[in-house]
Amino acid sequence: MTTTIALAGKGGVGKTTIAGMVIKYLAQNQPGSILAIDADPSSNLNMVLGLELDFTVGEIREDMLHQVKDSLIQGGAAMGGLPGGISKREYLEYHVRSSLAEGSRFDLIAMGRGEGQGCYCAVNHNLREVIDGISKHYAYVVIDNEAGMEHLSRRTTRDVQHLLIVSDPSQRGLVAAQRIADMSKELDVRIENSYLIINRLLGVLPKEAHDFAEKLAIPLLGTVCADDELSSFDYSGRPLVELSDDSPVYKSVAEMLKMIL
């Protein structure tokens, strides 16, 4: 059985860093392989994981639609099909598998660019089935979402066991976290557990922020302190998964995962 962990939060709260620490913990402490899905159009989870990214699912989707459009314009026998008689599903499956960035314990699929003009319902349906078919071969799937949650059901149809909503200590960040939690209930994906993580904390969580978090409809799983070492890794280009096990950021995330897994 595959365990799916999704991360969400408004832009700039460090959810990709937390996603990297989740993957690091799973790779070191849990059996089985891990699939990371970067659902943020900025596609920088590969830098956190130290993996080379050749192309994204968004580029595959746009290239396929471009070929279908050309076929329609030319009025060939396929009339909107793909060259060589290959089906759209076969085309997507082959190229999505080819886009997989492979590591020793974890692999990565990057969704990449958003949708352009036109209807994407059919191609998104096929993409969900392709990605879910790939995902079932992994023990864990970790999905790093873009700022909102509205696109999660376009990425997968599988249940999410653990939704980690990341916020900074500000009231605006916590309000955004609550909105994301509310939005997650409207998705076509069943979410079993939702948790709040407060990231980039300077010192002790202020009482006002703690009291505010207590009033939210999602339990506070834990806090992660701000750490200058992350900046030095960013400046040097080193993958964050190479942080030492003694890193306070990693240790905080590891303790949280021990509680929920």
pLDDT in tens, 132-173: 999 999 999 999 988 766 667 666 667 899 999 999 999 889
φ, ψ (nearest 5 deg) of residue 120: -110, 10
Determine the pLDDT at residue 79: 47
Domains and CATH numbers, the chain: 3-58+99-260 (3.40.50.300)
Q: 91 CB contacts (<8 Å, ≥6 apart)?
A: 64, 82
**Could you give the percent of the chain with pLDDT greater than 90?**
54
| pTM over cut 0.95 | no
Q: What is the DSSP letter of 152?
A: H
Burial call 99-110: b when 16+ CB within 10 Å, e when fewer: bebebeebbbbb
Q: What angle do CA 14, 202, 36 make, to 5 degrees?
A: 20
pLDDT top residue among 81 and 197: 197
Determine the pLDDT at residue 118: 53
On the question of pLDDT at 69 being above 90, the answer is: no
Determine the pLDDT at residue 29: 97
Determine the pLDDT at residue 114: 62
Which of 62-66, 110-114, 248-252 is predicted most confidently?
Answer: 248-252
Determine the pLDDT at residue 77: 43
